């Protein structure tokens, strides 16, 4: 180790293109982070809520076309909006390696019954009279106060009813089904009742007014009840939602249901960030113990910190989800970066580069870059296949690590080498 205390020409170092670019990136990232707090999307792990993963309920081996799943997504989105839950993230996720399609829905704190109602009901509406099918969907569902109401029943419970319209053809079928019915008093006979079904389950059984016999009727009323007023209201709202948004093209089943407490999630985030900060300090300590020269330790640690800032900035810019695994990915990427920088530093320290300045320099640089690319490519080749697996968790880790490694190779490492050249 040479004892020549080389004076570091800071100005010259900063003006070097690679170093300048690096500093530019860090500053830019800093500005992005500070000015765009909304860019940080919190993943479920941290924000909390209920996550439901839905799959088509079909036999093994049956493949549901993607278009059907897109339609499911649209119907569900409509249902959520109708019900009053706006902006529920729902995404189609596929395990590319096994070709199954799933829908991942992230609800904020909601009760499970609502979740079940909104996602599991297929919503096939049908009606029959005297064993003949007359209606198979609704054209309009009425939710206004005139045509939908809740009232008490004699038995102490509550009932609701709301109007629905059906199309012309359905109306004609109604006419055909009722024209031969006998009239008893004000209504049609016992067997000519209008039975409404949803998903095959009987909804209501209505007697038909004698006036409607043989007529084209395009409206009906759906009835139901509940033990309390709230329950009746909830049931009515649920039915109105399901009927108005239409039936799902395929039956669905829940394959995963996760509930994360926001409070716990917040705690996890804090601890993870603390762990990252302590890691950085620990690394600084180790590096100092090994090299003991500030002119090595300072650039090494500073580039590591800067790299972290750049990665976080990028995550913010592209709206990447902050999750626990993403944080782990950042720590992994920066850790790999620090290791590579240690290798480079040692390469540059070794030997009598004072004498071999010209030839040895070039060879050393070439070797340093070779090491960078080699190390980076092994990490990336491990992470890229992983990015296609699973429905979010590990994806975050894989993508963040890959991103971090790329930032390191393209931005940080070249700058670091240039800095070290001038400092050693």
Partner 1 sequence: MSDNGWEAKWNNAMEYYDTNYKKLMLIPLIMLLAGFVIIYTFPVERDIDLKGGTRLEIVTVPQKDLLTIEQQLGAAIGVDVRARILSSQGSNKQLVIELGKSFAEDEQPQLIKNVETVLGVTLTDNFNIRSMDPSIGANALAGAQRAVLIAFILMGTIIFLIFKQPMISGAVMLAAFSDIVETYALMGFLGIKLSLHTIAALLMLIGYSVDSDILLTTRVVKRKEGRVVERIFSAIKTGLTMEATTLTAIFAIYFISDAIVLKEIALVMFLGISVDVLNTWIQNAGLLKWELERKEVSK
362-391 binders of partner 1 (CB under 8 A): 367, 370-371, 374-375, 377-379, 381-386, 388-391
Alpha-carbon gap, residue 56 to 69, rounded angstroms: 8
CB 200 within 8 A of CB 227: no
Cβ-based nearer residue to partner 1, 337 or 414? 337
Residues 319-338 that bind partner 1 (CB under 8 A): 324-325, 327-328, 331-332, 335-336, 338
Q: Report in angstroms how near the CB of residue 343 gets to partner 1 at its nearest.
A: 5
Binding of partner 1 at residue 261 (CB under 8 A)? Answer: yes
Residue 369 C-beta: closest distance to partner 1, Å = 12
Number of residues interacting with partner 1: please give it, by CB under 8 A: 82
**The only residue of 74, 199, 259, 421 in contact with partner 1, by rule CB under 8 A:** 259
Pick the closer one to partner 1 by CB: 102 or 320. 102
342 touching partner 1, by CB under 8 A: yes
Nearer to partner 1, 213 or 364 (CB): 364
The pair phi, psi for residue 156, each rounded to 5°, is: 100, -5
Identify the residue among 208, 247, 296, 398 touching partner 1 (CB under 8 A): 398
Q: By CB under 8 A, name the one of 31, 285, 354, 410 that touches partner 1.
A: 285
Task: For residue 329, give every residue at least 6 positions away whose Cβ sits within 8 Å of its Cβ, in sequence order, or none.
Answer: 396, 397, 398, 399, 400, 401, 403, 404
Query: How far apart, in Å, do the first and last CA atoms of the chain sit?
Result: 10
For position 101 contacting partner 1 by CB under 8 A, the verdict is no
- Restricted to residues 62-81, the positions that interact with partner 1 (CB under 8 A) are none
Number of H helices, E strands in the chain: 13, 16
Which of 26, 134, 203, 260: binder of partner 1 (CB under 8 A)?
260
Sign, CA torsion 5/6/8/9: positive
Q: How far apart (Å, rounded) are the C-alpha atoms in residues 307 and 255?
A: 39
Is the dihedral angle over the CA atoms 42, 48, 53, 54 positive or is it negative?
A: negative
Token code pair at residue 258: 């996760």
Q: Which of 147, 394, 406, 422 binds partner 1 (CB under 8 A)?
A: 394
Contact, 77 vs 88, CB < 8 A? yes
Residue whose CB is less far from partner 1, 102 or 160: 102
Under 8 Å between Cβ of 371 and 344: yes
- Least distance in angstroms from the C-beta of 23 to partner 1: 24
Interacting stretch for partner 1, rule CB under 8 A, among 2-10, 153-161, 191-199, 347-355? 347-355
C-beta neighbour count of 282 within 10 angstroms: 10
What residues between 174 and 213 interact with partner 1 by CB under 8 A? none
């Amino acid at each position: 180790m040479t004892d020549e205390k080389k004076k570091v020409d800071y100005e010259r170092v900063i003006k070097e293109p690679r170093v300048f670019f690096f500093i530019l990136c860090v500053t830019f990232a800093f500005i992005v982070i500070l000015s765009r707090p909304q860019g940080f999307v919190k993943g479920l792990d941290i924000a909390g809520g209920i996550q439901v993963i839905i799959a088509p309920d079909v036999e093994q081996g049956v493949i549901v076309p993607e278009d059907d799943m897109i339609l499911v997504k649209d119907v569900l989105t409509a249902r959520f909006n109708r019900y009053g839950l706006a902006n529920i993230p729902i995404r189609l996720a596929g395990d590319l390696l096994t070709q199954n399609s799933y829908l991942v829905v992230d609800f904020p704190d909601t009760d499970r019954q609502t979740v079940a109602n909104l996602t599991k009901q297929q919503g096939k509406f049908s009606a029959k009279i005297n064993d003949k099918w007359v209606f198979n969907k609704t054209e309009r569902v009425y939710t206004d106060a005139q045509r939908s109401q809740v009232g008490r029943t004699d038995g102490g419970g509550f009932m609701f009813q709301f109007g629905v319209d059906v199309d012309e053809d359905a109306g004609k079928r109604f006419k055909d089904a009722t024209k031969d019915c006998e009239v008893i008093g004000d209504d049609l006979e016992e067997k000519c009742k209008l039975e409404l079904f949803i998903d095959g389950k009987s909804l209501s059984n209505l007697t038909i007014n004698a006036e409607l016999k043989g007529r084209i009727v395009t409206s009906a009323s759906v009835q139901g009840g509940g033990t309390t007023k709230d329950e009746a209201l909830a049931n009515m709202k649920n039915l109105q939602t399901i009927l108005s948004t239409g039936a799902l093209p395929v039956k669905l089943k829940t394959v995963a249901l996760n509930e994360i407490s926001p409070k716990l999630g917040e705690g996890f985030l804090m601890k993870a960030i603390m762990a990252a900060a302590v890691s950085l300090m620990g690394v600084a300590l180790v590096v100092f113990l090994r090299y003991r020269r500030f002119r090595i330790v300072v650039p090494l640690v500073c580039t590591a910190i800067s790299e972290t800032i750049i990665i976080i900035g990028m995550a913010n810019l592209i709206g990447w989800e902050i999750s626990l695994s993403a944080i782990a990915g950042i720590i992994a990427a920066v850790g790999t970066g620090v290791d590579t920088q240690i290798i480079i530093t040692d390469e540059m320290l070794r030997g009598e580069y004072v004498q071999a300045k010209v030839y040895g320099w070039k060879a050393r640089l070439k070797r340093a870059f070779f090491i960078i690319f080699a190390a980076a490519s092994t990490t990336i080749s491990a992470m890229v296949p992983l990015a296609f697996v699973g429905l979010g968790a590990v994806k975050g880790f894989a993508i963040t690590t890959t991103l971090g490694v790329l930032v390191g190779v393209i931005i940080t490492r070249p700058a670091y080498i240039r800095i070290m050249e001038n400092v050693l």
